Structure 1
Amino acid sequence: MANRLRSKAAQMFHIQMSHYHKVSKLFQPVSQAPKYAIKKKDESSSISQKLMTELGALHPRSNGMYALLPLGLRALEKLNKSIDEEMSYIGAQKIALPILTSGHLWKKTGRWKSTGPELLKVKDRHEKDFVLSPTHEESVTDMIAGMYPLSYRQFPLKLYQISTKIRDEMKPRFGLLRCKEFVMKDLYTFDSSEAGAAETYEEVNNAYLRIFRKIGIPFLRVAGACGNIGGSVSHEYHFHADIGEDILWICQSCGEGTNSELITEDSQMNCHTCGGVLKKVMGIEVGHTFLLGRKYSEPMGAFYQDLQGKPQPLHMGCYGIGVSRLLAAAVEVLSTKAQMKWPLAFAPYKVCIIGPKKGSKEWAAVSWQDSLASVLSQNLGLGDDIIVDDRSTLTIGKRVLEAKNTGYPFVVIVGKKACEAVPQFEVIDNDKEEVQVLTQLETLNFVKKHCL
């Protein structure tokens, strides 16, 4: 009896470990008549918006607000995980702040008025003012202020969250690139000295460089305006795209860049570092860092206790990544007008396996469909990253087209060659648009090389 129970437990463990997903069960409402052409830059839609909605990764709920469907949410969660890893590496600790922030805190810093109509304000039943927070400088600084006395030994302190933010956007457009409700990673750092804050600023910016390099899309880091957030130093991270709303000037010699907001009519259109010629490009901002100094800590009373036991204001920094915007920006940059493409780093599924059509000559090789999926999932450790298009009533060609449009980085086809004495499979690399015919071992090695 005990042996039978152990055997059953082992079988259940094997089934769990070799789990993979099936297209037949995927909630992916696809538009029947997509129109991908974009006529003008100022239209309210973009390539990423069209593809993500028409191919079932995103669904509009109202003007400027969207539901992330399973494909879109899987990609977002992978991106969050990648950010979490880098935040952990620099010693940042994750928190969760309420989306509602008391209005009196925003009045204390002056941003209640200076932020403008994009700040969505509400009153509760007691007529108290609240803000549906687009960012949380006031909230987190007030929290730290309430914990005095904090010793100088506790710094630097790095607190971050990945959460929904609200902005009452006057003209939402381009899907997740400019919307009312979005997901942002916001990090707030506290140091006991100006020099310490500057050191932390460089450390966080280096983490940002690693995050964007992992994504694998060329990006630009430029000097930015501090704007309503405030502070003395600011840098922005952009993906170069014609649909971008920021004008950037990039040095053709050293690569140093500046947002046009920092360039006046009297500015020399040459790089101030090397004298190289500046080139104008458009960018989608996906990250922003600020060295805040005491802008928030002094008015909010966020102090620490120095060596002499005296209260001193903390030096702060704040650092944002527009996670949902980054998701859409990546699709915007990589995709064609007809095919959605994801970075491998956060593609919803890395490999799609397409089996033969039922009743066809290739149907004899159908067992390879599940066999390959199990080996890739369990033996190679791809686990949850495999999806099988098991819709056997459809032709292989139709399913391959859908797989390409959906943006799976790699597609493995169990077709005619899988019936040969030495079975072979077509492997499609959607990024390079290359097709190879490989044996089972070669297929496994190919996926291992590119996906792990």
Structure 2
Amino acid sequence: MNRLSRIFQPLTIKPRNAEILNLEGLSCSQKLMMNMGIIKPSNPGCYHLLPLGIRSIEKLTKLIELEMKTIDGQKIEMPLLTSAQLWQKTGRYQSVTSELFVVNDRHSKELIINPTNEESITDLISSVSPISHRQLPLRLYQITNKFRDEMKPRFGLLRSRQFLMKDLYSFDSNIDNAKHTYNEICQSYDRIFQKIGIDFLKVQASTGTIGGTSSHEYHFMSPIGEDQIIVCNKCKYACNQELIAVDQKICTKCGENDNFQILNGIEVGHTFLLGDRFSKPLDATYLSNEGKPKHLQMGCFGLGLSRILAATLEILSENDQLRWPRILSPYTLIIIGPKEGSKEQTKIQNLPEELYNTLNAVPTIHEDILIDDRNNMTIGKRLLEAKRVGYPFILVIGKKSLEDIPEFELHDLVNKTEHSFSESALIDFLLD
């Protein structure tokens, strides 16, 4: 039984003179996640992810891994450290040195704490090259922490120095097959974001320091987004503003003249069609059906899990209350029983625990229920706190539970409604 009293959730108690707190420069999601014990700061750009945050990330991870199975993605784990020599071979070391965390081992060998893994994965494939064309397409992914020396980390998990990322690398025999893989994986990313339920835009983007022939970004629209997205009002073609010349007035896709809107976006995913950008300098090859070694055609596909979590909360939350997509909420339903010593508590005894066990058999919320067993606190105080944390459903066992046919008060935070249900009607509602 998941009991709130046993969860490590250090809340920030708002002092009476709260106006003296300096909250300037903090995003809504950052303030709420810190105040409600989802994250706690460690040092600039780095955060402790606490139990409720971990549950949400685990749900997102499960969602992504189930989707990866549909496209034959194979999960691996690469080292956090990569030799700087590999980055020098691909020519990236000099161009991104300022963002790299670099360490030296006891033998004075220079190592990079990975912000991304193109060199590492290509070196892995190169070490077993040439692989057979029958093994292609090959799609390898990992979910791990990455590190980037951000000059100005800000907005909590939206721009941090340590972040959780899922990166997938594809290997194909030719550019046409690589394009097919690229489109298939992008469609998979579309499905992931559709399941999360936040409106998103897939936009044409710069290939930047990673390189390749084409690139797309996935964005959640938000006023605090640091990227400016240009959207053609006629054909809906969208691109990052960095691709548009300052004086450009015509849509490059449909030719519409001066009919754009500019939106702010939070980047939550990025995909690249790499070609042989990394396979050539690192000599990653496959053996063709003619028996000749040829350089592999690659793609890379990233999702920022910790950023997706923060971005969804940034978009959905209210000023003083977190709001989660139901699929990512740490718990879908929390049960609040009567206060200890009250008339209701004296008469119903173990009803909260019995109701917990009954509801836990409902498939849609199985193992996704939390009971607030801090019965020394009033129902009102616990209800207010549950609303601030943002559990999608809050079930209150109050005075109506004493009626001949007990009824329970259900607060639906997603739809901003309240219901009074008997046990059977409650189960029917949650099954819907």
Q: TM-score, normalised to structure 2's length? A: 0.96
One-letter amino acid of the structure 1 residue matched with residue 323 of structure 2: K
Question: Quick one: structure 1 residues 154 and 380, their matched pair in 2 at CA, closer, same or farther if it must change by over 3 Å?
Answer: closer
Q: Does 1:212 align with 2:193?
A: yes
The answer on 1:293 being equivalent to 2:280 is: no
> What code does the residue aligned with 1:362 have?
E
Provide structure 2 residue ranges, at least 5 long, that are not aligned to the other structure.
none
**Structure 1 stretch 342-351 or stretch 374-383: which is displaced more?**
374-383
Q: TM-score, normalised by structure 1?
A: 0.92
Does residue 45 (structure 1) correspond to residue 7 (structure 2)? The answer is: no
Q: Distance in 2 between matches of 1:339 and 1:116?
A: 40
Which residue of the partner structure matches residue 440 of structure 1? 423
Alignment match, 1:401: 384
Partner of 1:131: 112
Q: Say which of 262, 282, 285 aligns to 1:280.
A: 262
SS of the counterpart of 2:140? strand
For residue 323 of structure 1, the aligned residue among 305, 328, 335 is: 305
Q: Which amino acid aligns with 1:383?
A: H
Counterpart pick for 1:168 among 144, 149, 167: 149
Question: Distance in 1 between the 2:94 and 2:10 partners?
Answer: 43
Task: Assess if the C-alpha contact under 8 Å between 2:362 and 2:427 holds in 1.
Answer: no
CA distance in structure 2 between the partners assigned to 1:186 and 1:162 by the alignment: 7
Report deviation, 1:365: 2.6
What is the match of residue 162 of structure 2?
Answer: 181
> 1:362 and 1:75, CA in 2 relative to 1: closer, same or farther beyond 3 A?
same
- The aligned amino acid for 2:77 is A
4+ aligned runs moved over 3 Å, structure 1: 34-40
Q: 1:269 to 1:332 in 2, by over 3 A?
A: farther
Q: Is the 8 A contact 1:356 1:366 kept in 2?
A: no
Q: Identify the range of structure 1 (288-297 vs 429-438) with the bigger mean alpha-carbon deviation.
A: 429-438
Correspondent of 2:48 among 46, 49, 67: 67
Conserved in 2, the CA contact under 8 Å of 1:351 and 1:412?
Answer: yes
Match of 1:308 in 2: 290
Q: Which residue of 2 aligns with 1:148?
A: 129
Instruction: State whether structure 2 residue 75 is matched by structure 1 residue 97.
Output: no
Give the Å deviation of 1:407: 1.1
Matched with 2:60 is 79
CA distance in 1, matches of 2:231, 2:425: 43
1:24, CA displacement in angstroms? 1.1
1:365 to 333, 348, 358: 348
Matched, 1:243 2:224: yes
Contact 1:36 1:50 in 2 (8 A): no
State the 1:353 CA deviation: 0.6
Alpha-carbon separation, structure 2, partners of 1:169 and 1:413: 45
Matched length: 428
Q: 1:38 to 1:320 in 2, by over 3 A?
A: farther
Task: Please list the CA deviations of residues 356-392 of structure 1 after superposition, one character each: whole Å capped at 9, or x if unmatched.
Answer: 1122222223432112210111354633200001111
Q: Secondary structure at the match of 2:384?
A: helix
Aligned to 1:377: 360
Q: Distance in 2 between matches of 1:248 and 1:38?
A: 34
For 2:152 and 2:129, how far apart are their aligned partners in 1? 42
Alignment partners' CA distance in 2, 1:177 and 1:329: 7
How many angstroms apart in 1 are the aligned matches of 2:94 and 2:202? 30
Identify unmatched segments of 5+ residues in structure 1.
1-19
Distance of 1:65 and 1:411 partners within structure 2: 32
**One-letter identity of the residue aligned with 1:301:** D
User: Over residues 86-135 of structure 1, what are the superposed CA-to-partner deviations in whole Å (9 max), with x where a residue is unaligned?
Assistant: 11110010000000001100000011111130111111111111100000
Is the CA contact (8 Å cut-off) linking 1:36 and 1:47 kept in structure 2? no
Please give the alpha-carbon distance, in whole angstroms, between the structure 1 residues aligned to 2:337 and 2:203: 47
Query: Does the Cα contact within 8 Å between 2:360 and 2:366 map onto a contact in 1?
Result: yes
- 1:193-246 Cα shifts (integer Å, max 9, x gaps): 100000000000000000000001111111111100101111110111111100
* Partner of residue 322, structure 2: 340
The CA deviation at 1:165 is 0.4
**Cα contact 2:83–2:111 (8 A) shared by 1:** yes
> Would the aligned equivalents of 1:254 and 1:274 in 2 still touch at CA under 8 Å?
no
Q: Which residue of 2 aligns with 1:56?
A: 37
Opposite residue 62 of structure 2, the aligned amino acid is: K
Aligned-residue Cα RMSD (Å) equals: 1.7
Identity %: 47
Q: 8 Å contact 1:38–1:47 — kept in the other structure?
A: no
Give the Cα separation in 1 of the matches to 2:64 and 2:363.
24
1:428 paired with 2:411, answer: yes
Deviation at 1:439, TM superposition (A): 1.0
Q: Deviations over 1:278-309 (max 9, x none)?
A: 21010000000000001000000001111221
22 and 199 in structure 1: CA distance in 2 versus 1, 3 angstrom threshold: same
